[in-house]
Structure 1
């Protein structure tokens, strides 16, 4: 059976990534008008025929989060009403993923609400990367292809791997990810025990593992204020670490994050272009996930497995 013709569109949240993905696929980015009325309402018009096509809409729901999400939902609805054969929401970063459970009385599970909205709008499939919680896949009753940024990170980190490296999780929740990195890189494993005092402040309590005289790699899926990373890096320095790098899939850097990174506790922040990143002259290395996403889109369009994209070459 011949695969439906492929078309890729983008909202406004990360158009440069969408254009780079299309370059890897070898096709132009689809033409669509995505703008706002004076009162803030989003308006979308798809300027190409998509009837019977396999449509991919690239839109990480990053800052401005609510506008990015609405643009994505409206684009899905527009493609659905234009008789697209299948609509895949490509979300390199899935916003609201941290609100994935009821950890206090009378709070919502917004990650589930977003899943419901995407399906209600007309999405037939989700392609995303490094969800904050893997269980979010279970919020959907449609297929979810969940990619990992680790192959992109490992290719860059190969130059640093060795017996002197220690991979450290900045909190208990990231131990599984840290263990995977340590196993691939042939490094030792450590952990920071932390206590969060509020949404923007983290008080680091203790470090588990020997980091004296070691090159430390902190790994996490997301950073916004860099509080966790900055505190973990400081305690690594105080414990005698030679260098401290951080590998973070999604860098949603706020003004306070840049202030903390400027303190110099972290030698290099390594992240991806899943969301737009302004380095501001700081030691921030942005790795591209465009090739990874392009391969996944082509494989999904051809009804092929995406499992091989998880394999790490050269390790």
Structure 2
């Protein structure tokens, strides 16, 4: 849809609706950064391209919409939106794994669980009351994303979550590095975008590892299990380096916490001696598996080991990673800022944060105009340009 000024013969795109960004509790930091990018870009674009044309809601000091979920003493809550959102194109950012926020229940401070965060998300959607023109939920790590398929008589929580959100009026769901993107089959008539931060990880490595070389004789990609082969094949193919894989040998006669325990990690791949290795995965939960893999690779005389995961949960603390770093097993752990990272993690010498705020802002900016994000989803050209810069830098040494 276009707005035409007949006198000036200027044409400017019209957004789907006035842009509104809601950051759920615990997402304030990344929401502020996304908002700053969007306000800056739109002011610059307006001044350069169409300084005389005014599109209502295009230029605002902030696109953030104020919300709150106050709680009663029993822990019950309600959702409240503090301003009108009629006709808005709403983007709700929700980190359901942020355990760093608390609420009071019966006089006790209780950390918010994924269930609590998801309920608050639904409360805000319900508070909108159907008045928004369109609602997009940006949930970087899917709620119940690991419970995506049925292997026995058990619940399908992730599929139910997606169906519940769409039944409440959510039009699109955006997530990053889904554990299994096929869960989209639960809502085939609604928008679902699974975005991989491949370029952002490689750019962070280039910026923080001075002598990294994208050379098949010096670098190798490692998949920690069979389920992660898809993302690792992409890295291997686009960088032109070899790929290795571990498979998990499990004890299928035993069940511990609902899962068959891992007996051993077995490696399949070429010689890793003297090479830098990048272990790619979607998340770190306890970290035991990835550290076991790193130790086995060090035994095979790998040079340096870098771990790149989208979501660093560190459910059992940081002590095991501290020890692995001190023992020279790992060199660096890269995770995105899409989920909560406690300050103690950010201060670790082995940790490096990968900023996703600008990428998220670009996606929101495109979608607000109903423009294609295919170019953003496929970073092949940007990765190729990055590799060329690195190779030129290495050749000059």
How many Å separate the matches in 2 of 1:219 and 1:289? 17
* Corresponding residue of 2:30: 17
How many Å separate the matches in 2 of 1:117 and 1:49? 24
**Which of 154, 162, 171 does residue 115 from structure 1 map onto?**
162
Q: Secondary structure at the match of 1:43?
A: coil
* Superposed counterparts of 1:163-312, under 5 Å: 163-196=217-250, 198=256, 202-209=262-269, 210-256=271-317, 258-264=318-324, 265-278=329-342, 279=345, 281-282=347-348, 283-309=350-376, 310-312=378-380
**Which of 45, 49, 53 does residue 80 from structure 2 map onto?**
45
* Corresponding residue of 1:87: 135
Q: Secondary structure at the match of 1:123?
A: coil
How far apart are residue 190 of structure 1 and its match?
0.5
Unmatched runs of 5 consecutive residues or more in structure 2: 2-13, 40-61, 99-112, 388-397
Q: In the alignment, is the contact (CA less than 8 A) between 1:202 and 1:227 conserved in 2?
A: no
Unmatched runs of 5 consecutive residues or more in structure 1: none
Flag the structure with larger Rg: 2
Q: Secondary structure at the match of 1:206?
A: strand
How many Å separate the matches in 2 of 1:288 and 1:37? 36
How far apart are residue 5 of structure 1 and its match?
0.7
How many Å separate the matches in 2 of 1:166 and 1:67? 41
Q: Secondary structure at the match of 2:79?
A: strand
- CA-to-aligned-CA distance 1:65-107 (integer Å, 9 cap, x gap): 111111111111112x16111111111111211101112x221
Q: TM-score normalized by structure 1?
A: 0.93
Q: TM-score normalized by structure 2?
A: 0.75
How far apart are residue 271 of structure 1 and its match?
0.7
How far apart are residue 28 of structure 1 and its match?
4.1
**In structure 2, do the counterparts of structure 1 residues 276 and 108 end up closer, same or farther at CA, with 3 Å as the change threshold?**
same
* Corresponding residue of 1:129: 176
How far apart are residue 305 of structure 1 and its match?
0.3
How many Å separate the matches in 2 of 1:216 and 1:259? 22
How far apart are residue 184 of structure 1 and its match?
2.3
How many Å separate the matches in 1 of 2:293 and 2:95? 28
